[in-house]
Structures are given as C-alpha cells and as structure tokens.
Structure 1
Amino acid sequence: MENRSGLAATSRTDTNPADEALRRVTAQQIGPRRPGTVYDNATGLFQVIAVVTDPSEARRILRRNAARFAVLVQDLHTNATHYTGATWTGSDRVLKTVNV
C-alpha cells in the first residue's frame, strides 16, 4: 500500500526506547505475580487471579491516575478478592508458582 508521497507504507511495530523502558519498569513492579501464583507479604497470604497491564484499565480499576497495572488477588485467609497496585518488594515471598 502506498502513502500520499507514493512510497510504500510500512507498519511500525517497533517501540520507542522510552516505552520499552516503562514496560520493563512495570514488569519489575509486578514481579513474579502471574495467575495462579501464591505469595505472602506483611498484609497476608494471596493467590493471583489476574494481572491487568493495560494502563487505562488499571487506572479505571484502581481509580488512580498514575496506575500502570493492577493485580487481582484472593486473600487465602478470608477468601476475599480485591485489586492491588502495590509493587513487588523484597519482603514479598513466592510460596507457589504455576508454570504456564
């Protein structure tokens, strides 16, 4: 397909360096939390149900303008489910991983 200049148009799937850096930072903040993973931290024992990485959806879910991700977890003590935007820290521990 040609564009207005008569040159063939190519689709660009490359991401710019800033987008790639932000993607890496977000992945680090999510850490090893994948659906099925069980982890604990100072606030409880949780199983990951889903991970939302679309920033606009994460902002809507968490009602925070700066949200980049949201993790749906189930508290294994109370069976309550909720979303969290907390980053993975050194005090969080994976107890069970699930291979996909």
Structure 2
Amino acid sequence: MGPRGVGAIYANQDGRFEVLALVTNPVQAARLLRRTSARWAVIVRDTLRPDGQPFVVGSVWTNEDYLIRPARTVYAPAA
C-alpha cells in the first residue's frame, strides 16, 4: 500500500491518482480485485482525466510511484 491513504495523491507512469478508499478486509479486497490472494485494495481516480471513474488497484508501492499529496490525517475532537 505504501503511503496510499485516503486523500493521498500519487503519480506513476500510468497517471496521477487520488485515493478514494482503502480496503483492508481481505475478503472484500479479494472480491473487488477478483483475486483470492488479495489482502488489501485501493480505490483510486485518475485526476488527469476529466471523466476519470473510480477503479480498484492492488499493486504494491514501487520506486516508480511518487507521492504528490499525503493522505488526510483525521484527528479525534479534543475533550
């Protein structure tokens, strides 16, 4: 997965992608990717395409990928 948390934007030779969701449940990831060995999946949208539709990826983070914007950090409200 690398730094691909929700809200992150990363790029590689295939495009520039915004992470919309991170699926860490192996059963759901396997169903989404149609691979029984899947343990996680990332739902992304290509931000370089005006008509970019969300799609699922299961590829690992490599040295070909680079982070443009880190994932959003969610903080709990202060008491």
> Is this a same-fold pair by TM over 0.5?
yes
Query: Which amino acid in structure 1 is aligned with residue 66 of structure 2?
Result: R
| Percent identical residues | 41
Higher strand share: 2
Q: TM-score, normalised by structure 2?
A: 0.85
**Runs of 5+ in structure 2 lacking a partner?**
75-79
Q: Which has the higher contact order (CA 8 A, sep 6+)?
A: 2
Q: TM-score, normalised by structure 1?
A: 0.68
**Runs of 5+ in structure 1 lacking a partner?**
1-29
Q: Extract structure 1 runs of 4+ deviating beyond 4 A.
A: none
How far apart are 1:77 and its partner, in Å?
1.6
How far apart are 1:42 and its partner, in Å?
1.2
Decide which structure has the larger Cα Rg and report it. Answer: 1
Give the alignment's Cα RMSD to 1 decimal: 0.9
Higher helix share: 1
